[in-house]
Amino acid sequence: MSKIINDLLYTKDHEWVRVDGDVVTVGITDFAQGELGDIVFFELIEEGDDVNAGDSLGTVEAVKAVSDIYSPVSGEVIEINEELFDQPDLVNQNPYVDGWIVKIKLNDAEELDELMDAISYKSFLGE
């Protein structure tokens, strides 16, 4: 069973979102990192780039597969987790704390209404 944090929001593409005012932190879920296996490389968008919900934030490369990471919201990328370039396995070890991927300054808080809460995400996973 995957670890799911109650106060986060989730996407159908297995990204998680932590909301702090008008800034959201985005990462991939414990389920996603488990499916990917050992993560070995990240290629990410640049700080200062604008994204729309559904745009690619970059790719994560694991031993088993390469996968896109999608932005759950629209806004400006204000920070990327540069530690992931040297330690991509931080996402395997702790996807919800050390393994965050980007922070986005939110354009439209109503987009958060499109995301799943923990109960809905558990149901989505069939857990």
Give the rounded distance of the alpha carbon of 15 from its chain centre. Answer: 4
Number of domains in the chain: 1
Q: Which amino acid is at 40?
A: V
Per-residue pLDDT band for 1 (boundaries 50, 70, 90) equals confident
Residue 33 covered by a domain: yes
pLDDT per position as a tens digit, 62-118: 998 999 999 999 999 999 999 999 999 999 999 999 999 999 999 999 999 999 999
What domain range includes position 53?
Answer: 9-107
Residue 43 covered by a domain: yes
Q: What's the chain's average pLDDT?
A: 96
4 token code pair: 């799911």
pLDDT number for residue 91: 96
Give the rounded distance of the alpha carbon of 73 from its chain centre. Answer: 11
pTM confidence score:
0.95
Residue 125 covered by a domain: no
CATH of the domain at 81: 2.40.50.100
pLDDT number for residue 127: 79
Q: What does the alpha-carbon distance between residue 57 and residue 42 come to, in Å, rounded to a whole number?
A: 10
Residue 54 covered by a domain: yes
